[in-house]
Chain A
C-alpha cells in the first residue's frame, strides 16, 4: 500500500473510532446545545436537527462526507464551525509548544551530548536532576509555583494569559501567533509584554521535553562513543569534540529527530494543564472543555487534528531520515 493510502486508512480508522466513541459515551449532545431546562418538544426538535434520529451508519456516512469537504460540523456549544474554532485556538498552542520545543531541544540536545561525554561529571549530574524534575514534577504544580515565584513575588514575567489587558486591543491578529503579530506591529512594548507572558509557560512545558530529549540524546551518544570508529578516530589524533559533533552526532541525528518529533507531538497534545494554569486560550483547553460539556463534534475534530499532527510529524521524520541517512533512501 502506498504511503498516502496508509495515511488515509489511518485517518479513516481514527475518524471511525472517535465517531463511535463520541456516540456511545453517555453524554447527551442535545443537552449540550439546549441546556438542562429545555422542554421535551425543543429537545426532540434538536434531536432530529442534529440527525441523531438516523441510524448510526447513516450518521457516520454523513460525517465522512462532511469530513471530505473539511467540514467537522458545528460546535454544539457555540454553534460555530468546529474547523473555524480550532483554527482560532490552535495557533496559541502551536506557538506555546514551538517555543517550548525550541527551548527544550536547544538546551536538551547539547546537554545530553555534554552529559554523555562527561559521564558522571557535574554536568551529567545536573542533567540527571533536571530530567528527574522534568519527569516527576507535574506541570500543573510547577506552573503554579512558577507563577507565585516569577510573576507574583519577583515580577520578572507577565501573568496568566497571552498578553496584558491594556495591550489586548493594540494587538491586531494577523497570523494568530502573538509573538509574530506583535513583532509585525513594530510595538516593542507590546512584543516585550507578549514575550513576558509566554516565557514562563513555555519554560515549564520545555522542562518535560528537555528531560526526555536530553536523556535519550545521552544514551544514544554513549552507545556511539563506545563504537570502534570513535576509538580509531581518537587514535588518529582527532580532537574529542570534533569527533563528537562531526561524526558521532551525525550518526545519532536520525534517532534524535525522532525523539524531538515525538516530544513536539506530545507538547502539542499535552499542554492542557499548563494552559489551564496559565489561562492560555489554546487547543488543549478547548478540547477539555468540549469533552466535559459533551460537545462531541469538537472532540472528534480535535482528535482528528491530533491524528493528523502525528501522521504529519511521521512524514517529516521520514523525509529527514532520507536526507540525513542515505541508507534509508
Chain B
C-alpha cells in the first residue's frame, strides 16, 4: 500500500470512527493480568537502587535473590536461586549452592561469578540497598576477600561477627542484594563508570520468572514471562500494570472488569467494592509504620514527658475504625506486627486517647499552659486527617500545632535536613525481624550533624540513647533465640515510653480483585505474580 493510499484510507477511517465506536466493554485478555496502580514512584529498575514499594514488588517478580520468603509465612526463608546453603560451625560463613539450570533471558548461564559481581556492584554504588551488606560489616575494601565464588555454582559470604543466621538470610532475601545480574549485558551499557546504572533505569537483565518489556513513566509497565526460566513457569504469561492515579477511576475500572486488580482504593471505595458482585477485597499487613516523629533538637520535644504526652493525644482505635479502615491497624511498637521478635497483641498497643494524662505529663514537663509547634504533613490520603486529629486533640490541652502540608518530596527533604518540629510520615523496613526497625528507628550511631546519617529516622529526629544503641547491638549479636526475643521485648516496651516517635498504625496492603483471578498470593514482603491464574 502506497503512502498516499494509506493516508486516504486513514482519512476515510477517521471519518468512520464514530460509527465504529464499540459499545461493549472489552474484558481483560486471558493471557494477561491487568492491574490499575499508581506507579508514579517508579524511577529505576536497578536492584541496587530500588527503594519504592511499587518497584520493589515488580523487581521481586523479575529478579530472583539467592533466597526468598515463604508465601504463607513471611519470616521463613526458602530457597530461590540458591537451592540450599550451609552455615559454618563458627557461624561466620554462609555457603550458597546455586541452581545450575539458571540462565539469563539472554540465554547465558547465570553463574556464581555473576552473583558476586552483582553484590560488589551494589557496594560500589552505595545506594540504599547496600545497607543490607554494610550493616553486616561488608565494605568496598573487604568485599574481595569476603564475597567469593570458589566455583561456578557456589557463593561464599564471610561475616565479621556472628549474627543470627536467619536474620542474615532475611536481609539477603529482602533487599534483593543478591539479585544476580547479567554482568556482560549490563556492562555493555555502562556509561561514565556508572556500572550500568543508567541503562538499568529502564531495563532488566537478571534471572527471574518475568522480564521487563516496557516501562513508560506515568503510563504503564509490561512484564513478559521468561521462556527459559529454571523455576516453575508463571501461570499468566503477561502482566500489564497501568498507571491510574485517581482512586475513583480505579474503582470504576475494576467494577467494569476492565482491570483485574485495583491497588489504590479509599476506605469508601473498598467498602462499596466489598458489596460488588464479581469483586473481592483482599488485604495483608505490610511492614510499614505510620508515625508522628518529634525532633529532639527543638524544645519542647527534647523533653521525654512531652513526647509521651503526644502519644496520649491520639484516638488510635477511633481512627482505625474510620480514616484508617482498610488502610492500617493501630500499632505503637517499632517492631512491626508479624516480625520475628515483635510484641504480641495488646502489648504492642499500650496507648489510647487520654487527654487528662497528656495534660498531666506536659504540666510535669514544665509546660502547664501548653506550647506551640509545627506539624509537617505530606500529600498521602491519610496525612491530612491524621494531622487534623492530632491538632484538634492537642488544642484541648493548650498545645497549638501549626500544620504545614507539602509534597512528599519536600517532606522527605525537610526530614533528612532535620528541619522540622514534628512530622507525620511512614517508614517501611525490608526485614521481617525486630532488628530491621531497631537498627534504624532506635539505634543512632552518631548524632552529629556532620555524620549525615540521613537513612536513620532516629538521626533525623536527633534522637540518640547510648544505652539503647548498646541494647540493639547486643540483641543482634545474641544467637540464643529465646534470649534475643526477650531483649527485643523489653527494648520495645522501654522505647515506646521514651522514643522519638508516636507510632500510630501499621499499614495494610489492600487490593480489589476480580473473581476471575485465582490464587492472588502475597504477604507483607512479596506479591507472587507467578502464582496467580485466570
Decide yes or no whether A192 CB sits under 8 A from chain B.
Answer: yes
Who on chain B is nearest to A32 by CB?
B409
Known: A42-B125, A156-B23, A165-B29. A31 touches B202 (CB 8 A): no
**Are B409 and A28 closer than 8 Å at their CB atoms?**
yes
**Are B256 and A28 closer than 8 Å at their CB atoms?**
no
**Are A36 and B9 closer than 8 Å at their CB atoms?**
no
CB neighbors of B among A148-193 (8 A): 148, 151-152, 155-161, 164-168, 179-180, 182-184, 186, 188-189, 191-193
**Are A28 and B413 closer than 8 Å at their CB atoms?**
yes
B23 shortest CB reach to chain A, Å: 6
Q: Which residues of A contact B201 (CB under 8 A)?
A: 78-80
In the assembled complex, the Cα of A77 lies from the Cα of B18 at a distance in Å of: 38
In the assembled complex, the Cα of A278 lies from the Cα of B409 at a distance in Å of: 25
Q: Which residues of A contact B217 (CB under 8 A)?
A: 75, 77-78, 80, 85, 286, 289
Residue from B218, B407, B453 in contact with A285 in the complex, judged by beta carbons closer than 8 Å: B218
Residue from B17, B202, B416, B452 in contact with A183 in the complex, judged by beta carbons closer than 8 Å: B17
**Are A36 and B51 closer than 8 Å at their CB atoms?**
yes
Decide yes or no whether B216 CB sits under 8 A from chain A.
Answer: yes
**Are A160 and B252 closer than 8 Å at their CB atoms?**
yes
Residue from B26, B130, B131 in contact with A166 in the complex, judged by beta carbons closer than 8 Å: B26
Q: Which residues of B contact A144 (CB under 8 A)?
A: 246, 248-249
Q: Which residues of A contact B16 (CB under 8 A)?
A: 188, 191
Q: Which residues of B contact A294 (CB under 8 A)?
A: 407, 409-410, 413
Decide yes or no whether A55 CB sits under 8 A from chain B.
Answer: no
**Are A159 and B256 closer than 8 Å at their CB atoms?**
yes
Residue from B20, B129, B255, B454 in contact with A43 in the complex, judged by beta carbons closer than 8 Å: B454
Who on chain B is nearest to A39 by CB?
B126
Who on chain B is nearest to A40 by CB?
B452
**Are B32 and A36 closer than 8 Å at their CB atoms?**
no
Known: A36-B51, A195-B17, A281-B243. A31 touches B409 (CB 8 A): yes
Known: A35-B49, A155-B24, A294-B409. A182 touches B13 (CB 8 A): yes
**Are B43 and A33 closer than 8 Å at their CB atoms?**
yes
Decide yes or no whether A292 CB sits under 8 A from chain B.
Answer: yes
Decide yes or no whether A136 CB sits under 8 A from chain B.
Answer: no
**Are B127 and A36 closer than 8 Å at their CB atoms?**
no
Q: Which residues of B contact A73 (CB under 8 A)?
A: none
Q: Which residues of A contact B248 (CB under 8 A)?
A: 144, 147, 277
Residue from A158, A192, A285 in contact with B245 in the complex, judged by beta carbons closer than 8 Å: A285
Known: A183-B17, A277-B249, A292-B379. A165 touches B202 (CB 8 A): no
In the assembled complex, the Cα of A194 lies from the Cα of B240 at a distance in Å of: 19
Who on chain A is nearest to B20 by CB?
A192
**Are A160 and B9 closer than 8 Å at their CB atoms?**
no
Known: A152-B255, A159-B256. A147 touches B17 (CB 8 A): no
Q: Which residues of B contact A292 (CB under 8 A)?
A: 40, 379, 407-409
A102 shortest CB reach to chain B, Å: 12
**Are A164 and B26 closer than 8 Å at their CB atoms?**
yes
Who on chain A is nearest to B425 by CB?
A36
In the assembled complex, the Cα of A31 lies from the Cα of B417 at a distance in Å of: 12
**Are B202 and A80 closer than 8 Å at their CB atoms?**
yes
Who on chain B is nearest to A41 by CB?
B126
Decide yes or no whether B219 CB sits under 8 A from chain A.
Answer: yes
B476 shortest CB reach to chain A, Å: 19
Decide yes or no whether A38 CB sits under 8 A from chain B.
Answer: yes
**Are B453 and A40 closer than 8 Å at their CB atoms?**
yes
**Are B43 and A32 closer than 8 Å at their CB atoms?**
yes
**Are A37 and B128 closer than 8 Å at their CB atoms?**
yes
Q: Which residues of A contact B18 (CB under 8 A)?
A: 195, 199
Residue from B43, B216, B244, B407 in contact with A291 in the complex, judged by beta carbons closer than 8 Å: B407
**Are B246 and A276 closer than 8 Å at their CB atoms?**
yes
CB neighbors of A among B187-220 (8 A): 198, 201-202, 216-220
Residue from B20, B29, B44, B414 in contact with A188 in the complex, judged by beta carbons closer than 8 Å: B20
Residue total for B at the interface (Cβ-Cβ under 8 A): 76
Decide yes or no whether A132 CB sits under 8 A from chain B.
Answer: no
In the assembled complex, the Cα of A186 lies from the Cα of B34 at a distance in Å of: 26
Known: A78-B217, A192-B21. A165 touches B258 (CB 8 A): yes
In the assembled complex, the Cα of A160 lies from the Cα of B24 at a distance in Å of: 14
**Are B43 and A186 closer than 8 Å at their CB atoms?**
no
Residue from A28, A40, A43, A158 in contact with B412 in the complex, judged by beta carbons closer than 8 Å: A28
Who on chain A is nearest to B40 by CB?
A289
Who on chain A is nearest to B48 by CB?
A42
**Are A278 and B22 closer than 8 Å at their CB atoms?**
no
**Are A279 and B127 closer than 8 Å at their CB atoms?**
no
A46 shortest CB reach to chain B, Å: 9
CB neighbors of B among A1-33 (8 A): 25-28, 31-33
Residue from B26, B410, B416 in contact with A167 in the complex, judged by beta carbons closer than 8 Å: B26
Q: Which residues of B contact A168 (CB under 8 A)?
A: 240
**Are A155 and B25 closer than 8 Å at their CB atoms?**
yes
What is the 8 Å Cβ interface bit string for chain B, positions 331-356, against chain A (1 contact, 0 not)? 00000000000000000000000000
B213 shortest CB reach to chain A, Å: 10
Decide yes or no whether A262 CB sits under 8 A from chain B.
Answer: no
Decide yes or no whether A242 CB sits under 8 A from chain B.
Answer: no
Known: A35-B128, A294-B409. A28 touches B416 (CB 8 A): yes
What is the 8 Å Cβ interface bit string for chain B, positions 138-174, against chain A (1 contact, 0 not)? 0000000000000000000000000000000000000
B4 shortest CB reach to chain A, Å: 12
Who on chain B is nearest to A34 by CB?
B127
In the assembled complex, the Cα of A289 lies from the Cα of B16 at a distance in Å of: 36
Q: Which residues of A contact B220 (CB under 8 A)?
A: 281
Residue from A42, A89, A193 in contact with B22 in the complex, judged by beta carbons closer than 8 Å: A193
Residue from A78, A182, A293 in contact with B409 in the complex, judged by beta carbons closer than 8 Å: A293
Decide yes or no whether A125 CB sits under 8 A from chain B.
Answer: no
Q: Which residues of A contact B28 (CB under 8 A)?
A: 165-166
**Are A193 and B455 closer than 8 Å at their CB atoms?**
no
**Are B17 and A78 closer than 8 Å at their CB atoms?**
no
CB neighbors of A among B251-275 (8 A): 252-253, 255-256, 258-259
**Are B455 and A38 closer than 8 Å at their CB atoms?**
yes
Who on chain A is nearest to B251 by CB?
A152
CB neighbors of A among B26-48 (8 A): 26-29, 32, 34, 36, 40-41, 43-44
The 15 sampled A-B contact pairs (Cβ below 8 Å) are A39-B126, A39-B128, A39-B131, A39-B134, A43-B454, A76-B43, A77-B43, A148-B252, A152-B256, A160-B253, A186-B9, A189-B22, A196-B21, A286-B217, A293-B409
The 5 closest A-B CB pairs, nearest first, are A192-B20, A37-B128, A35-B51, A294-B409, A183-B10
Q: In the complex, given contacts A157-B21, A281-B219, A291-B407, what are 18 additional A-B residue pairs having Cβ atoms less than 8 angstroms apart?
A: A25-B410, A31-B416, A78-B44, A80-B217, A151-B252, A159-B258, A160-B249, A165-B242, A186-B9, A189-B20, A191-B17, A195-B18, A199-B18, A199-B21, A277-B249, A279-B249, A281-B218, A294-B409
